[in-house]
Chains A and B, each alone.
Chain A
């Protein structure tokens, strides 16, 4: 699976949009971009994933560049409960028996 690079930490003001970048310059054509987050002392929580097109769900939006070498997770109106470590993971989608490989992630602090 392709390696990803994320900033170590970021701050965001409550109510503002949080934009979390991820670089995955070696991504392959059949690899998806997944985002998970982990609130302190909890298991990781799925947020969103995408292949080429931008995606949006009730939690966030995922913007993938045209060359697919980077992406941005957007939390449109961050709240204090969004404080967590956010993981960007790139992997082949259709592979039941394969685990997810977690990097260090980005520690997002939402400030009041």
Chain B
């Protein structure tokens, strides 16, 4: 099946710094990608939809100026957590829809962010 990669797999940063997370579709193109956040013992929650060539769409309650999304190409979307704080510590997961008839989602392995 199709593969989605994320980089880095984990990152530790100081409070107030910015962190960039990359999401790549390795063997297919994705004009849309999704960014999820998952806190411990909770389910995945959609943060935003990344659209190639246009602005991202953010879910209610997600600060667009804090979580910057750039869909630079048909295979790359980036999520930048600006001025990170400890409460931003979470597991961030991206996904991209397949282009087959059933549009299953292919998920990245996730990025563990810890803000000190």
Report A's interface with B, CB cutoff 8 A. 32, 34, 36, 38, 41-46, 49, 87, 93-105
- CB B92 to nearest CB in A, in angstroms, measures 10
Say if the beta carbon of B49 comes within 8 Å of chain A: yes
Contacts of A104 in B (CB 8 A): 43
Contact check, A99 vs B46: say whether CB atoms are below 8 A apart. Answer: yes
5 A-B pairs with least C-beta separation: A43-B107, A102-B44, A102-B43, A99-B34, A93-B102
Find residues 62-109 in chain B having any chain A CB closer than 8 Å to their own CB.
Answer: 91, 93, 95, 97, 99, 101-109
Contact check, B44 vs A42: say whether CB atoms are below 8 A apart. Answer: no
Contact check, A34 vs B104: say whether CB atoms are below 8 A apart. Answer: yes
- Bound together, the chains give a CA A107 to CA B19 distance in angstroms of 31
Contact check, B109 vs A99: say whether CB atoms are below 8 A apart. Answer: no
Contact check, A103 vs B109: say whether CB atoms are below 8 A apart. Answer: no
Q: Select the residue from B1, B101, B107 with max chain A CB neighbours within 10 A.
A: B107
Contacts of A41 in B (CB 8 A): 91, 110, 112
- CB B61 to nearest CB in A, in angstroms, measures 15
- Bound together, the chains give a CA A101 to CA B108 distance in angstroms of 16
- CB A51 to nearest CB in B, in angstroms, measures 9
Q: Select the residue from A42, A93, A99, A101 with max chain B CB neighbours within 10 A.
A: A99
Contact check, A43 vs B43: say whether CB atoms are below 8 A apart. Answer: no
Contact check, B32 vs A45: say whether CB atoms are below 8 A apart. Answer: no
Partner pick for A43 among B99, B102, B110, CB 8 A cutoff: B110
- Bound together, the chains give a CA A101 to CA B43 distance in angstroms of 10
Binary CB contact string for chain B from 40 to 54 against chain A (1 if under 8 A, 0 otherwise)? 000111100100000
Contact check, B107 vs A101: say whether CB atoms are below 8 A apart. Answer: no
- Bound together, the chains give a CA A106 to CA B107 distance in angstroms of 19
Contact check, B46 vs A46: say whether CB atoms are below 8 A apart. Answer: no
Contacts of A42 in B (CB 8 A): 109-110
- Bound together, the chains give a CA A46 to CA B36 distance in angstroms of 16
- Bound together, the chains give a CA A97 to CA B98 distance in angstroms of 10
Contacts of B49 in A (CB 8 A): 97, 99
Q: A99-B46, A99-B49 are in contact. List 5 more A-B contacts (CB 8 A).
A: A36-B105, A43-B109, A46-B106, A99-B34, A103-B43
